[in-house]
Structure 1
Amino acid sequence: MSALRRVVVRAPGRVTPYLALGAADEDGHHQRATVLQAMDLEETITAERAEGLHLEVDSEGPGEVPRDATNLVLRAAALLREHSGEGHGAALHLHTRVPIAAGLGGGSADAAATLVALHRLWGLDLPVADLRELGRGLDAEVPFAMLGHTMHGHGGELTTVLTHGHWTWLLALPEGSLVAAEVLARHDEIAAAVGREIPERPAVDERVLQALGAGDAQLLGQGLHNDLTSAAFALHGGLEALVEAAEQAGAAGAMVCGSGPAVAVLVEDSVHGQEVEAALRGADLVRECHLLRGSVPGAAILEER
């Protein structure tokens, strides 16, 4: 039995330089081919021994994080407790920095950090692969938040993408919000309306993987892709203008991140990012921006005692 009383873990949000959707199955789920890159905007979980499972949340940005059993922190804790077969408890505190409901993987990071923290706090001895598989049952991207860096995902399987150099992203958030399920539904409607054939098995453009391996921001910018872009544009009136303005301001590339409404803007370095940010703020297209480094490690223990 672990003698630890407190464990603190952080896990990263992510950008999605490539997202391709396959045809929906009978349950409405789409195969996905993605490239995911962890960024240095993290979620932090503090877990302390307690009776039962309790959650407190504080956030650095707008939006509401649910405190009930739908929250991925509590779902992850309950799942791990059930899997262990022991009546463990914990008081959990979530400090969230990843913008809420913005398509940046904050919920997956929350679950990843919770599983790592409680696995350590409760003195469990699960193989790392088993812990990741538990996370996958909560959300397909939880294993990525545990691993971090840059990965290529297909059908729930993750493969490391070797990258060269540093990646700098300007994360631009407009006013307003989007609901992921509504964006996906609109994507299906648009595809049906225009008669677009959706592949059974989507694939990542090889140029994107080549650009990452070469450390070529300009080439990666040309290959940025998100199949949900048209749907996000249709549901958020200011999103298309934001992407266009970032490109016109000299970004290597700009794209809606996941289901949005965050826009990931690829820039050469921090100075370039500040110049692009100034242009976006000058056009009154954003409510907040974050200058970030990409391809950082996954969930990590910060403190234990």
Structure 2
Amino acid sequence: MSEAVVTDRVHVRAPGKLNLFFEVGGVQEDGYHDVASAYQAVSLYENVWASPSDDFTATISGTVDVEGVPADDRNLAVRAARMVAQRIGHRGGVHLDIVKNVPVAGGMGGGSADAAAALVACDALWGAELGTAELHKLAARLGADVPFALMGGTAIGTGRGDQLSPALAQGRFDWVVVPSSEGLSTPEVYAHLDTLRAEHGISVSGRAPDVDTGVLHALRAGDPAALAEQIRNDLQAAALSLRPELRAALELGERSGALAGLVSGSGPTLAFLTGDPESALELQVTLSAAGLEALHVHGPVAGARVIG
């Protein structure tokens, strides 16, 4: 490819996600778990600006607490940028200005959205034109949630969660999310799930995880009430065990008008499904009055896209 820079700054926006359904299989020999998930991209976005640079650098800011978010090669977005450069033989670097709105370590895939945004931004900045299929291959090497942040919409994920197939979802689903000031480690939550299962004699070996057909029917019908009957997260028990104070907030939302509530991914963010935008606003006000940070989001929305 040419070394010519197409533009001197590229802005990409990528969405956070909610796991509407999350079934976790047993731990595999490599230490990972097979999962089956229904993902929905929601209107809480990460923004990444990519500019030419001699090296690979990043600055981190946002509306959420970004203390502890690395700006070096431990950051998925920086690694994504290096991956694109290596793939196309680009000899320069890039500076990433990352503005975060998705809760950090909150189970909503903010870091994965940053990585997806960096892939798209560097592809555009350097005129690589790698194409969707190639970007998805790179995304899968970065983490299970990165391919979905590229795709957006609603999808079913199997394997490690990165084997994606689009799911038809009619209409709009309104959610109220309650982030936490303190994140949860995803590996710690999975390990605690394994401990809880062992303590209770629960065996999940012998079959691959699968998304219940009722979830797919509810999404296809665009029916929040039907979806509320189906949503589930196998990691929820482990997350609540590690952070028992979350249970009170979960119960408050469920008795204050939510159709259903659950822990998002590995937590600690809570997600409450509502029937319509007006119900979401009422629940947001109630939770805010109780001293909780509450955000009204909706889905499905598009995946990582160049803005402007």
Give the TM-score normalised by structure 1: 0.95
Query: Quick one: distance in 1 between partners of 2:242 and 2:87?
Result: 40
Question: What is the total number of aligned residue pairs between the two structures?
Answer: 301
Match of 2:82 in 1: 78
C-alpha distance in structure 2 between counterparts of 1:270 and 1:128, whole Å = 33
Partner of 1:25: 28
Q: Distance in 2 between matches of 1:125 and 1:43?
A: 22
Q: Does 1:247 align with 2:285?
A: no
Residue aligning to 1:182: 188
Contact (CA 8 Å) 2:50, 2:125: kept in 1 or not? yes
In the TM superposition, 1:146-185 aligns within 5 A as 146-155=150-159, 156-185=162-191
- Deviates further, 227-236 or 122-131: 122-131
Q: What letter is aligned with 1:57? A: I
Q: Which runs of structure 2 are paired with 1:74-223 in the superposition (5 Å)?
A: 74-155=78-159, 156-199=162-205, 200-223=207-230
| 1:291 to 2:296 alignment | yes
Q: Distance in 2 between matches of 1:122 and 1:35?
A: 34
Per the normalisation by structure 2, the TM-score is: 0.94
Q: What is aligned with 2:19?
A: 16
Q: 1:108, CA displacement in angstroms?
A: 0.8
Runs of 4+, deviation exceeding 6 Å: none
The Cα RMSD (Å) is 1.3
Deviations 1:251-297 (A, max 9, x none): 1111000010101100112221122223333444x2x1110111001
Paired AA for residue 299 in structure 1: A
Following superposition, the deviation at residue 175 of structure 1 comes to 4.4
Counterpart selection for 1:58 from 58, 61, 71: 61
Identity of aligned residues (%): 38
Paired residues of 1:84 and 1:124 also in contact (CA < 8 A): yes
Unaligned runs of at least 5 residues, structure 1:
none
* Superposed CA offset, 1:207-227 (max 9, x none): 111100111111111111000
1:49 to 42, 52, 61: 52
Separation of aligned partners in 2, 1:162 and 1:60:
32
Classify 1:68/1:244 alpha carbon distance in 2 versus 1 (closer, same or farther; 3 Å).
Answer: same
Structure 1 residues 97-106 or 76-85, which shifts more? 76-85
**Matching residue's letter, 1:104:** M
Name the amino acid aligned to 1:118.
C
Distance 2:74 2:109 in 1: 16
Is the CA contact 1:170–1:273 (under 8 Å) kept in the aligned structure 2?
A: yes
SS in 2 for 1:201: coil
**For the residues of structure 1 that align with 2:142 and 2:250, how far apart are their CA atoms?**
31
Between 105-114 and 195-204, the greater mean CA deviation after superposition: 195-204
Q: Which amino acid aligns with 1:70?
A: R
8 Å CA contact 1:174–1:238 kept in 2: the answer is no
Per the TM alignment, residue 239 of structure 1 is displaced from its structure 2 partner at its CA by: 1.2
Where in structure 2 are there 5+ consecutive unaligned residues? Answer: none
Superposed displacement of residue 171, structure 1: 0.6
- The residue aligned with 2:286 is 279
Amino acid corresponding to residue 249 of structure 2 in structure 1: L
Q: Is the Cα–Cα contact under 8 Å of residues 88 and 122 in structure 1 kept in the other structure?
A: no
Residue aligned with 1:223, SS: coil
